[in-house]
A and B are shown apart, each in its own frame.
Chain A
Amino acid sequence: MSSGTFAVLGLYSEAEKIVDAANQIRPHKLGRLEAYTPYPVHGLDRAIGLEPSRLGRLVMLMGVMGAGLALLFEWWVSAVDYPLVTSGKPLFSWQAFVPVMFEVTVLFATFTAGMAMLFALNKLPFFGHPVLHSKAIKDITRDKLALSIEATSAAFDVEAAHQALIDSGAESVEIVPVPTWDRPLSLVGLLRTIAAIVAACVVAGAGLYAAEKLMPIVPPMIHMEDQPKLNAFRESSFFPDGRGMRPAVAGTVARGHLPPAFATPEEAGTLLSNPLPLIQAIAERGRKVFGDHCAICHGTVGNGVPLLSRAYGGKPGNFLSNEIRARPDGHYFGVLMLGKNAMPSYAADLDNDDRWAAVHYIRILQRAQNAKDEDLP
């Protein structure tokens, strides 16, 4: 019988009595004392011999750890792994890290407080406390206060505990047996859980679907869309003429966009020479300009096979043909400025140095596709 006892419960009506009873019973060391009361009773924690909670120290430790980890993490992210200078600040700017450190400290501390309280100190999860199955629980949740002597070993003396509680003035005493537990993971329980999850998914999905179909969609914030900004191709109320795109001031020319001093590409060929030295950086710039603007029609290698042939159906010039190779640099520049046949002018899209770099690059392509013997590796 004694092996099947969880605790002996004594019921009291007044807070002072239970505190006195606990103080009276505690020295006998009959078993672990525990109290169940419908409201907090001052001094009861000391009376049943509860030690001060270790939670505070744990929370403190984890909070400090959170602050340290956050600092370490931010230092590593912003100064070691991905050093990116932001608004001229040093890579290790502790000032900017403080808000995150603060948040992580709070996160660690609160999670530690919650989790440690529930799982470490309150010993969750369990599926039902034996006292919940006692007869006294109805009184405990109403107006009675219960002191329980819990069995901590096989040598627990039920009779002695019973007598001690009666001696201390308990109104009634109940022996709470160790309940017979169900298996925590029963097949039915598992299936029910899965079914519940599925049902929850179905309900949530259907609800969301219905909400999306039936409710008008309200954009959460439209300030970003409606901001009064200058848009080049829209009308604007800011300027009196209503144009978003501003014309150049009368009598001026944008830097790098002087009107050309030649009328035809041929004339440009006789007049101009490439002012840029052919160095690596210029070649790379030319490669970029060519790739961005020219290759789509003239082909990656400049052979006039367009990347966009199906959509365009054109026959762009083949830079590798003898005819075009023989033309001077200025001619290419002139074509870029004035356009030729179906090719539009690129006067507005590129600046002069871009054009000259592209000319260099065309020469490089011609060399690559018509290399000298000594060029071969």
Chain B
Amino acid sequence: MSDEQSTPTTWGSEAKGLANRFALGSGVAVTFLLFGLIVVPALLRERRPLPRPPSDQPAAASVGWLDQAETPASKGRDLPPVDPATVMTPNPKLLARGEVLFKQNCTSCHGESGQGNGPAAGTLNPRPRNFTQPADWKRGFHVADIFTTISTGVKGTGMAAFDFIMPADRMALVHYVRSLGGFDHGAEDPKALQALADQFRSKGFHIPNRIPVSLAIKKMVTEQAMVPPLQLRPAEDKSASAELLRFAIVDPFRAARTVAATTNRGDLSTVARAWAAGAPDNGFAPAAAGLNAAEWSEIVRALVGRREEARQP
């Protein structure tokens, strides 16, 4: 036993001891690091109260910049008038701009090369214009004609008004569309060109004010005029008009809004048809569609009279 006590410390046992301490120490260090860097911060983070939007704000307002509808308000401004000299005749820059805009706005119906064969063309009646065939142009293929068509659209067709595109860009589109049809466009009408140039010179493009949608909701909700519900006569009232009103109206609140919005639409038959058409969402009973003209006039008289009464202080 005395031999064991006097065993000299060898290199090997020293190294083992060091390794032991190193292993133990690094284990402790890793544990502390785990807690210090991950667990404790995570726990502290968990304790922080979650941000909550005030209750009178719509929930979407909290997503702020992520939501296009909630971009901060910006004041509207006027862009200066366009110099006609830069847009009246095609140039490479204008055509390049036109191509970009055409791809964005027109190809879905008119097709990549303007042949009227875009993906959505099949759903349209009449079908979209084929720009490459001179005979297909119904509203003229001169500069001023095309500009007008783009700006106002074509009523009764799928062609919408692209008035939200800036005039210079519309002109770029005009020139690009014309470049698609490789036929002779003939001479321009100088008078129409002059009028177009005057129009460009005289008027800039107005960019309107923009506000976040949540603010618009607030504004429009506060502006909303509350329409008082129609006062149906009590059930004891057995008069013919009271019975008729009770028969024709299912929701006095909605009916009041409908009456306020549509009584000035014209003659009795139009109003009656409108009320029957919107039933029952507008507060009138669907069965009211079967009423005859005399009954309708009775109803209108009762309701409009009632509304006039309600307006009196």
Instruction: Report A's interface with B, CB cutoff 8 A.
Output: 4, 180, 183, 185-187, 190, 258, 260-262, 268, 270-280, 283-284, 287, 299-301, 303, 312-315, 317-318, 320-324, 341-342, 352-353, 356, 363-365, 367-373, 375-377
Task: Name the distance in Å between B113's Cβ and chain A's nearest Cβ.
Answer: 15
Task: Name the distance in Å between A221's Cβ and chain B's nearest Cβ.
Answer: 36
A373 with B108: in contact, given A278-B221, A321-B161 (CB under 8 Å)?
A: no
A317 with B160: in contact, given A271-B277, A275-B258, A365-B213 (CB under 8 Å)?
A: yes
Task: Name the distance in Å between B129's Cβ and chain A's nearest Cβ.
Answer: 14
Contact B211 A368 (CB under 8 A): yes
Contact A284 B58 (CB under 8 A): yes
Is B291 an interface residue, CB under 8 A from the partner?
no
| Residues on the B chain within 8 Å of A312, using CB | 119
Candidates A274, A315, A373; contact of B109 at CB < 8 Å: A315
Candidates A284, A321, A373; contact of B160 at CB < 8 Å: A321
Is B90 an interface residue, CB under 8 A from the partner?
no
Residue interface bits B157-170, CB-to-A below 8 A is 1, else 0: 01011111000000
Contact A278 B220 (CB under 8 A): yes
Contact B16 A186 (CB under 8 A): yes
| Residues on the B chain within 8 Å of A277, using CB | 224, 226-227, 253, 257
CA distance A44 to B183 in the complex (A): 120
Contact A279 B258 (CB under 8 A): no
Is B130 an interface residue, CB under 8 A from the partner?
no
Q: In the complex, which residue of chain B has the Cβ closest to the Cβ of A281? A: B221
Candidates A270, A303, A363, A376; contact of B209 at CB < 8 Å: A376
Contact A300 B209 (CB under 8 A): no
Give 16 A-B pairs besides A260-B277, A277-B227, A324-B160 with Cβ atoms closer than 8 angstroms. A187-B19, A261-B273, A271-B273, A272-B278, A274-B261, A278-B220, A284-B217, A300-B68, A322-B163, A323-B163, A365-B213, A367-B216, A368-B210, A369-B208, A370-B209, A377-B73
Contact B277 A364 (CB under 8 A): no
Contact A372 B16 (CB under 8 A): no
| Residues on the B chain within 8 Å of A185, using CB | 20, 23-24
A-binding segment of B132-140, B193-201, B280-288, B299-307: B280-288
CA distance A183 to B24 in the complex (A): 14
CA distance A189 to B8 in the complex (A): 22
Task: Name the distance in Å between B269's Cβ and chain A's nearest Cβ.
Answer: 12
| Residues on the A chain within 8 Å of B254, using CB | 275-276
CA distance A317 to B279 in the complex (A): 28
**5 interchain residue pairs of minimum CB distance:** A261-B277, A273-B261, A368-B216, A323-B161, A371-B209
| Residues on the A chain within 8 Å of B261, using CB | 273-274
Q: In the complex, which residue of chain B has the Cβ closest to the Cβ of A288? A: B60
Count of CB-CB pairs between chains A and B under 8 Å: 175
CA distance A63 to B20 in the complex (A): 39
| Residues on the B chain within 8 Å of A321, using CB | 160-164
A364 with B213: in contact, given A273-B261, A315-B120, A342-B120 (CB under 8 Å)?
A: yes
Contact A365 B19 (CB under 8 A): no
Contact B20 A183 (CB under 8 A): yes
Contact A280 B221 (CB under 8 A): yes
A258 with B1: in contact, given A275-B281, A318-B164, A321-B162 (CB under 8 Å)?
A: no
Contact A375 B58 (CB under 8 A): no
CA distance A279 to B261 in the complex (A): 17
Task: Name the distance in Å between B142's Cβ and chain A's nearest Cβ.
Answer: 23
Contact B73 A371 (CB under 8 A): yes
A313 with B119: in contact, given A187-B19, A273-B274, A367-B220 (CB under 8 Å)?
A: yes
Is B45 an interface residue, CB under 8 A from the partner?
no
CA distance A192 to B153 in the complex (A): 84
Contact A279 B224 (CB under 8 A): yes
Contact A287 B213 (CB under 8 A): yes
Contact B277 A318 (CB under 8 A): no
A352 with B281: in contact, given A313-B107, A320-B164, A367-B219 (CB under 8 Å)?
A: yes
Contact B274 A356 (CB under 8 A): no
Is B191 an interface residue, CB under 8 A from the partner?
no
Is B4 an interface residue, CB under 8 A from the partner?
yes
Q: In the complex, which residue of chain B has the Cβ closest to the Cβ of A284? A: B58
Q: In the complex, which residue of chain A has the Cβ closest to the Cβ of B109? A: A315
Task: Name the distance in Å between B303's Cβ and chain A's nearest Cβ.
Answer: 14
Contact A353 B120 (CB under 8 A): no
Contact A186 B20 (CB under 8 A): yes
A313 with B258: in contact, given A190-B23, A364-B220, A368-B213 (CB under 8 Å)?
A: no
CA distance A303 to B220 in the complex (A): 20
Is B172 an interface residue, CB under 8 A from the partner?
no
Candidates A258, A268, A271, A375; contact of B280 at CB < 8 Å: A258
Q: In the complex, which residue of chain B has the Cβ closest to the Cβ of A262? A: B277
Contact A363 B281 (CB under 8 A): no
Q: In the complex, which residue of chain A has the Cβ closest to the Cβ of B280? A: A258
Is B82 an interface residue, CB under 8 A from the partner?
no
Contact A183 B16 (CB under 8 A): yes
| Residues on the A chain within 8 Å of B94, using CB | none
A314 with B16: in contact, given A275-B254, A278-B220 (CB under 8 Å)?
A: no
Most central of A300, A313, A341 by chain B CB within 10 Å? A341
Contact A323 B209 (CB under 8 A): no
Candidates A272, A278, A318, A375; contact of B282 at CB < 8 Å: A272
| Residues on the B chain within 8 Å of A273, using CB | 257-258, 261-262, 274, 278, 282
Task: Name the distance in Å between A271's Cβ and chain B's nearest Cβ.
Answer: 4
Most central of B15, B23, B164, B258 by chain A CB within 10 Å? B164
